Amino acid sequence: MVIDRRRFLAGVSAALVDARIAHGAAPMTTLFLCGDVMTGRGIDQIMTKPGKPHLYESYVRSATRYVEIAERATGPIVRPVSASYIWGDALAELDRVRPSARIVNLETSVTTSEDAWPGKAIHYRMHPANVDCLKAARLDCCSLANNHVLDWGYRGLAETIGALRAAGIRTAGAGGDQDEALAPAIIELAGGRRVIVFAFGTDSAGVPHEWAATKERAGVAYLPDLAPSTAQAIAARVQAVKRIGDIVVVSIHWGGNWGYEVTRAQRAFARLLVDGGVDVVHGHSSHHPKAIEIHRDRPILFGCGDFLNDYEGIGGYERYRGELGLMYFPVFGASRALERFTLVPTRVRHLRVNRARGEDVAWLATMLTREGAAFGTRVVHEPDDTLTVHWR
């Protein structure tokens, strides 16, 4: 009998993992995920080194105006703020949970470039000197495949990637060419485990097709559609790098800003990704949290909501409670199956992240249970004002 050595070794490794689970020695991997972190524009203006404030919006011409609107709503902000200020209560939660990897969607460029993308209604940027605010949260990876990373042109994109990498923060979803944009970020963990992050953007979230990276041009990892063949292509990339024990996150900027709809195409696409070896589908773009699905014991987050933005005091869409956000803490066992899933509710106030309490948490629990019913999930409001996800 001829023995395939690779399959034999894979079988041995899998058996060892199973044995560790049976004896209660399974290594647990906890992730921190959240939605859009928008440190540009008004947020940038309260920091130590604010960039030039001029904007090209229809009604607002200076980023300082967003600070004024926030202060009018909730009171004065003593400026400049410290590097850690914007994270507020989130830092204590991160210290308490001590996640294995911290992954966010950074929805701004980090640049001094003046190459504002022509015809674009909104341009976000943060001065590179303020990158310490991202280091303060000890982020491991920023997804960049979104509709603001190229707001200030290709020079702005290059400076963004350079500033983040110089700060020790990995990036995924954008690069100097197609190969770099499609390459995953790899986060090394103890014991040889890894968290691997791929990131992609879509036109449904406002990512211009012109931003797609090519072999000759910088840009983002762009999904032309949500067809099964596109999911299979991503799965092939996942399988090319994934090893036993790895956790693979696919971060996708998709869908509109407001509304709870999850399209059939999104659900089918996310499930195909999980079937193809993806452990977390990290969806974002909506300005408020959306439904959660657990497929084959892997979480699918259809929309994580904004975690930090400068919308404080701006009216409209109040029924979605866009000021409320979530810290997502999925915990995986050695088999990479989801063991438990905790959410920590937050609320943006004074342009910083604060813990949400009481009625705000109850509102989130009710909404997530209502929206999750079609996906077999419900959320329980715990006595400590955290949320626990339950699934069938």
| Tens digits of residue pLDDT in 196-255 | 999 999 999 999 999 999 999 999 999 999 999 999 999 999 999 999 999 999 999 999
Residue 299 domain-assigned (yes or no): yes
Query: What one-letter code names the amino acid at 8?
Result: F
Report residues of the chain scoring pLDDT below 70.
1-26
Q: What's the confidence (pLDDT) of residue 18? A: 42
- pLDDT tens-digit series, residues 138-186: 999 999 999 999 999 999 999 999 999 999 999 999 999 999 999 999 9
User: Which pLDDT belongs to residue 25?
Assistant: 52
Q: How far apart are the first and last CA of the chain?
A: 43
Q: Judge whether 29 lies within some domain.
A: no
In a domain, 358, yes or no: yes
Q: Which domain holds residue 153?
A: 38-391
* Distance (Å) of CA 199 to CA 63, 153, 217, 222: 28, 20, 18, 9
Could you tell me if residue 114 is inside a domain? Answer: yes
Contact between 122 and 57 under an 8 Å Cβ cutoff? The reply is yes
Give the type of residue at 248: V
Give the integer Cα–Cα distance in Å for 252 and 207: 11
Question: Which tokens go with 188?
Answer: 């090394």
Q: How far apart, in whole angstroms, are the C-alpha atoms of residue 133 and residue 131?
A: 5
| Residue 12 domain-assigned (yes or no) | no
Q: What is the CATH number of the domain that holds 67?
A: 3.60.21
Contact, 159 vs 113, CB < 8 A?
Answer: yes
Structure tokens at 272: 């195909």
Per the structure, the count of domains in the chain is 1
Instruction: Identify whether 134 is part of a domain.
Output: yes
Has residue 104 been placed in a domain?
Answer: yes
**pTM of the complete model:** 0.93
274 sits in which H/E element:
helix 264-275
